[in-house]
């Protein structure tokens, strides 16, 4: 069964600090992995998308890494801002046939001033 | 590009009434649209997959007669919650898929619709 596990479930950090969110998956065969940011009461917004051959991808202060061998990904946020407070969702898609992705439960990040 | 809109953003209705939510892809054609439901502090739960011109495919446990989905064009899909009850109160999000092949997996999400049933 395809699964995506995220950790931690929630995280509180001070403004300006860095943090790293984790995503482990069992989706196979792997097609791509995406990180989304979802503000409260809003739809998810894509941050990064990585395919099998990509190890790292950055989008401003967000850097995602992917280890396809261990089936792990991380999202690193640098110099956090108050606006980074949101839920971060890891989504993994399989190739060949079903294009319905598997969603993680998300990590709720709160950035305090 | 790749903007998806939803209307309304918020709706409050009485128990027993029906509510229609629209999902539009504004700058691309979406052969497939997805409807999700999200309860507080939980992840998105796929309700159904909607293909233009054909019947929607519902996930297990989702009542197709209660959640009517229509995908009449390549840019519009609607979700109608019939005979709504308080337990249907939730955040409903649609997404639209663009492209083919490996890019077919990319979905663009709408801003969501908050439904409150009194």
Q: pLDDT digits over A58-84, tens only?
A: 999 999 999 999 999 999 999 999 999
C-beta of residue A65 within 8 angstroms of C-beta of residue A55: yes
User: Nearest residue on chain B to A6, judged by CA atoms?
Assistant: B43
CA distance B82 to B65: 8
Query: Within 10 A of A28 (CB to CB), how many other CB atoms are there?
Result: 11
What tokens appear for A69 in the block?
Answer: 């061998």
Q: Does B49 contact chain A (CB < 8 Å)?
A: yes
Instruction: Return the structure tokens found at A50.
Output: 């990585």
- How confident is the model over B35-75, as pLDDT tens digits? 999 998 888 899 999 888 788 999 999 999 999 999 888 89
Three-state secondary-structure class, residue B105: helix
In degrees to the nearest 10, what's the CA dihedral of A32, A5, B98, A28?
A: 50
Query: Which residues on A lie below 8 Å from B111 (Cβ)?
Result: 42-43
CB contact under 8 A, A89 and B41: no
Bridge pairing between strands B107-109 and B90-97: antiparallel
**Alpha carbon distance B40, B44 (integer Å):** 10
Closest CA to B91 of B60, B47, B51: B47
Q: Does A99 touch chain B (CB under 8 A)?
A: yes
Q: What is residue B98's predicted lDDT score, i.e. its pLDDT?
A: 75
Q: Report the distance separating Cα A107 and Cα A111, nearest Å.
A: 13
Contacts of B24 in chain A (CB under 8 A): none
Query: Do residues A8 and A110 make contact, with C-beta atoms less than 8 angstroms apart?
Result: no
- Compare CB distances from B111 to A43, A100, A105 and report the shortest one's residue: A43
CB contact under 8 A, B114 and A41: yes
pLDDT in tens, A7-61: 999 999 999 999 999 999 998 888 889 999 999 889 999 999 898 888 999 999 9
Is B102 a residue whose pLDDT tops 50?
no
Residue B17, number of CB atoms within 10 A of its CB: 12
DSSP for residue B59: P
């Amino acid at each position: 069964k395809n699964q995506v596990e995220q950790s931690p479930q929630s995280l509180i950090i001070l403004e300006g600090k860095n943090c790293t969110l984790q995503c482990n998956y069992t989706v196979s065969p792997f097609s791509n992995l995406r990180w989304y940011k979802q503000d409260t009461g809003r739809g998810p917004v894509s941050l990064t998308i990585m395919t099998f051959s990509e190890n790292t991808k950055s989008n401003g202060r967000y850097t995602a890494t992917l280890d396809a061998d261990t089936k792990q990904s991380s999202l690193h946020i640098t110099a956090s801002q108050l606006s980074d407070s949101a839920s971060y969702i890891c989504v993994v898609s399989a190739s060949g046939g079903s294009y319905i992705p598997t969603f993680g439960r998300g990590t709720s990040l709160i950035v305090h001033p | 590009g790749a903007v998806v809109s939803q209307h309304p953003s918020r709706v409050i209705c009485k128990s027993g009434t029906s509510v229609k939510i629209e999902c539009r892809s504004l700058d691309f054609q979406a052969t497939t649209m997805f409807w999700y439901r999200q309860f507080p502090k939980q992840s998105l739960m796929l309700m159904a997959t909607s293909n233009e011109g054909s019947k929607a495919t519902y996930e297990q446990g989702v009542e197709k007669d209660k959640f009517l989905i229509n995908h009449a064009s390549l840019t519009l899909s609607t979700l109608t919650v019939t005979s709504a009850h308080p337990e249907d109160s939730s955040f409903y999000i649609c997404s639209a898929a663009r492209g083919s092949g490996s890019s077919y997996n990319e979905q663009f999400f709408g801003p969501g619709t908050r439904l409150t049933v009194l």
